[in-house]
Chains A and B, each alone.
Chain A
């Protein structure tokens, strides 16, 4: 495949570029959300759009999440392609009724006579004292409902390509972004392109353990993968799951057939998480391929506390993944390699700001 001309930009810039190109391609694309045209422009992901496309296509919305979600669904039924943005996924809970009862079911309950080409971006607001109502990772709640597609891009490439693909898709698509990904760079094609909304992708090849990771946990898994390989010679395969619904467990299964061991790393609460669903499917489909019991790594089953003293030990990270890998391969912990590993994956800087060690591109 010939290389398309590309550049190195951040995830946030990639989203912005995706918006701009999708809006150039289709007059029906509109962008709406609290803060979309304000000076901060949703962490800069929508900056300049109003200047370029005007206030009829780019606008702020009143604080009426559920009502306006319904309004966007109605507009979508009439041929508009709205992209609704929530600065925090927690606010999207107010949209839940319209999303679950109308957007997700319209096509099905009216026998395919109409569909809802709506895109909703929701941002997971981890970090710096965000606390119980501003940092939840709720993908499994949204992904439980048939009729919606739910994706979680990790790379800048996917952030742009999935946004463009989601806008073209005739179904409601939820894009859940983790804000600790926004500043990471990636190599992104200059022109418009689609990234698939249903496929996982192997980001790091390995033969000892499969780590299927969602969103930001992919970054932590890659940090662990590099350190494990260089210090202890343990090789893990890191799969960026990319899509939560549909869930591509085929890619996971073929990896597990090679490694025999599975860790699933999710950003959500452990109970009822998508990590559990991945494991259930792998156990159903590939029980015999497993050499050890699968492992779930997720947020603990209590809300994220605000205090820095508690949040410091709340989130799993590269260390959690590496330790789980070593357990699975029954690796030694008395060697110099292990000592070096601990140094290599020890986070620098404060725990409640994004990992500056990982700079991309992917």
Chain B
């Protein structure tokens, strides 16, 4: 059974936050030589959704995948090693940050072509339905991704066949530096999914309990054979679109907006809500730190791959 206790939800969010902060810090050394999209500020969605799943359920993601990978239980050592381009990385160094995979825990893959994994998730759900495995497939994507034609083709097919899939749209209102108002007319994303014949819900993506409750309802409905569900969660990306820094100097979003976004911190909100004890927080911080230190040590002491490794596996 997945542990959905408050302390576990808290820990899972904190862990993602601290891991990404550690990445941001070490990134400036320029040894993780791959583009990196941090999800700091958006942790509650990954954690809340994945907490509603079983280990054998399947997850796909996109360029901003660290949180989804970790929340589903992806191996931390293999993730950090991948960012350092090491042979022990989850893709043997072939992929870097934008390509996460850990099939042992049902994390099926993340790739950076926006929209690319959405139909794959539908296909995976289709296979699960055909084989009657009882597994639910989840795909995470952004508000920008929702503009891709392939997403709508996928929604249509999933609805038509009542497939066991949960679509999760993380609406942070930005596609790179472009606001949603410049890309889409003024209408809620989830209603379009609803118009495809898919039960859709929209909620606060910075409230982990709300995310978990909505996801649980959706997953239960999917498991009982009612077909696909769509969840749109509103959230905010704190750091730059790509890279470890803050990008306030670019001027595409106002200081007040960033401040408001950061004040609505999913982790701080939750600590306040569940009235967590300081001692318990300190202990979890320490455990997470130790785990992160060990993961960096693992990665940095791992073997570097060679061009011979790169040549192989073009064909199965």
Task: Flag whether A67 is at the interface (Cβ < 8 A).
Answer: yes
* Dominant secondary structure at the B interface: loop
How far is the CB of B34 from the nearest CB of chain A, in Å? Answer: 3
Residues of B within 8 Å of A38, CB to CB, are 176-178, 252
A35 near B304: Cβ-Cβ < 8 Å: no
A302 near B147: Cβ-Cβ < 8 Å: no
How far is the CB of A191 from the nearest CB of chain B, in Å? Answer: 33
Which A21-76 residues sit within 8 Å CB-CB of chain B?
34-35, 38-40, 60-67
Closest chain B residue, CB of each to CB of A65: B148
Which A54-105 residues sit within 8 Å CB-CB of chain B?
60-67, 90-91, 94
A129 near B96: Cβ-Cβ < 8 Å: yes
A60 near B178: Cβ-Cβ < 8 Å: yes
Residues of B within 8 Å of A130, CB to CB, are 34-35
- A301 CA / B311 CA spacing, docked (Å): 8
How far is the CB of A217 from the nearest CB of chain B, in Å? Answer: 19
Q: How many residues of B contact A (CB 8 A)?
A: 45
B184 near A310: Cβ-Cβ < 8 Å: no
Closest chain B residue, CB of each to CB of A128: B33
A307 near B305: Cβ-Cβ < 8 Å: yes
How far is the CB of A125 from the nearest CB of chain B, in Å? Answer: 10
Chain A binder among B69-77, B109-117, B156-164, B256-264: B109-117
- A212 CA / B122 CA spacing, docked (Å): 46
Interface string of A339-353 (1 = CB under 8 A from B): 000000000000010
A62 near B34: Cβ-Cβ < 8 Å: no
Which B173-189 residues sit within 8 Å CB-CB of chain A?
175-178, 182-184
B183 near A131: Cβ-Cβ < 8 Å: no
Residues of A within 8 Å of B33, CB to CB, are 128-129, 306-308, 352
Report which of B95, B177, B306, B314 forms a contact with A306, defined as CB distance below 8 A.
B95
A309 near B306: Cβ-Cβ < 8 Å: yes
Which B200-256 residues sit within 8 Å CB-CB of chain A?
250-252
How far is the CB of A350 from the nearest CB of chain B, in Å? Answer: 8
Residues of B within 8 Å of A309, CB to CB, are 85, 93, 304-306
9 A-B pairs within 8 Å (CB atoms) are namely A38-B252, A39-B251, A64-B149, A90-B113, A94-B113, A129-B33, A133-B98, A133-B113, A310-B94
Query: Which B residues have a C-beta under 8 Å from some C-beta of A?
Result: 33-35, 85-86, 89, 91-99, 111-116, 144-145, 147-150, 175-178, 182-184, 250-252, 304-307, 309-311, 314
